[in-house]
């Protein structure tokens, strides 16, 4: 499972309409917005290709000026990093672990 944060830009006068379109699109979850027209959403997908497809669809919605990837999270990458940290901890002498 992948989760990505995206900043969607809309004209300030159209923020409410774009937020409603995003909420009802089924593509993302809407979280925050500001007066400048920036809207923060998250997109979930089974893989990167699904997330990219959803982001492209968001870019094509009425009133959306642009959409930019802010961060991405991949469960498999986190699991691998945790295993590396556990292995590194085991390499630390026991006297230094306390």
Which pLDDT score, from 0 to 100, does residue 64 have? 97
Query: Residue 83, Cα to own-chain centre: how many angstroms?
Result: 24
Which pLDDT score, from 0 to 100, does residue 39 have? 97
pLDDT per residue as tens, the chain (98 positions)? 889 999 999 999 999 999 999 999 999 999 999 999 999 999 999 888 899 999 999 999 999 999 999 988 877 776 776 777 787 777 767 766 66
Which pLDDT score, from 0 to 100, does residue 73 have? 81
Q: How far apart are CA 56 and CA 74, in angstroms?
A: 19
For the whole model, what pTM was predicted?
Answer: 0.75
Which pLDDT score, from 0 to 100, does residue 98 have? 60
CATH of domain 2-96: 3.30.70.920
Domain parsing of the chain, residue ranges: 2-96
Kindly list the distances between the CA atom of residue 26 and the CA atoms of 11, 20, 50, 78, 79, in Å, as whole numbers in the listed order.
22, 11, 13, 26, 28
Instruction: Show Cβ contacts of residue 78 under 8 Å, excluding neighbours closer than 6 positions.
Output: none
Which pLDDT score, from 0 to 100, does residue 11 have? 95
């Amino acid at each position: 499972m992948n989760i990505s944060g995206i900043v969607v830009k809309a004209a300030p006068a159209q923020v409410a309409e774009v937020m409603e379109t995003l909420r009802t699109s089924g593509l993302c979850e809407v979280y925050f917005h500001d007066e400048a027209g920036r809207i923060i959403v998250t997109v979930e997908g089974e893989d990167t290709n699904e997330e990219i497809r959803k982001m492209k669809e968001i870019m094509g919605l009425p009133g959306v000026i642009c959409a930019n990837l802010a961060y991405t999270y991949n469960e498999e990458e986190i699991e691998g990093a945790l295993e590396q940290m556990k292995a590194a901890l085991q390499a630390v002498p026991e006297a230094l672990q306390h």
